[in-house]
Structure 1
């Protein structure tokens, strides 16, 4: 799975590379599913069913229907990122504590901003 993540991860660390396109049904906020990346594995939705679901409009695409608002929801959103088989779930925020958690879990390639650039 780590091999897959390296192949399919969108690298957005270079300032000249545009940020990934968000799937349009995502709720507004820092966590999102990248457009055209979901392969309908079901793992992220199983991890956070209150936050993530499959589109009723476009078959086979998941999205954040709700952004995490509590510590427990944040934990589940991060767990959903961990189980995503193709790194389609991303963090587009700049919260240093969340970025540190994601970096500690080896999920830095799923972050739109570098932790070191924010310090």
Structure 2
């Protein structure tokens, strides 16, 4: 996974360090709560990457970052199914950006450019 990524000011503090993250807000007493609605849909897409919702945890956050191609697909699926936009991607990997809705990315222009180039028939090795 890439080492340089956007650090969103509303990044939920329990997230594992890395470009995939969830947003949250701080209450008056200083406690944080996730912006996700705890519907379990994102957790079902990426069960090994997102914290399980339990009686002791009602917050959605990444417990670890994806490493394999399959895990990246799962993380992207979780971001794409989140109905509140609370799951986000702060990285710059064009392959990942192309899989995500630009509204869920902190660098959406790269994703749009990648999709346009793919639509026009350009491939990575084209000169």
Q: Deviations over 1:11-66 (max 9, x none)?
A: xxxxxxx944111110000000111311111111111110001477x742110001
- The 10-residue stretch of structure 1 (80-89 or 66-75) with the greater mean CA deviation from structure 2: 80-89
User: Structure 1, unaligned stretches of length 5 or more?
Assistant: 1-17
Residue number in structure 2 paired with 1:96 = 94
Give 1 or 2: higher helix fraction.
Answer: 1
Does the aligned pair in 1 maintain the 2:92–2:110 contact within 8 Å?
A: no
4+ long deviations beyond 2 Å = 114-117
Structure with greater contact order relative to length (CA < 8 Å, sep ≥ 6): 1
Matches within 5 A, 1:40-119: 40-54=38-52, 59-102=57-100, 107-116=101-110
What TM-score, normalized by structure 2, do the two folds share?
0.67
Alignment size in residue pairs: 96
**In structure 1, the residue corresponding to 2:61 is in which secondary structure?**
strand
Q: State the Cα distance separating 1:68 from its structure 2 match.
A: 0.4
Of 21, 33, 45, which residue of structure 1 is paired with 2:22? Answer: 33
Give me the CA root mean square deviation: 2.3
What TM-score, normalized by structure 1, do the two folds share?
0.71
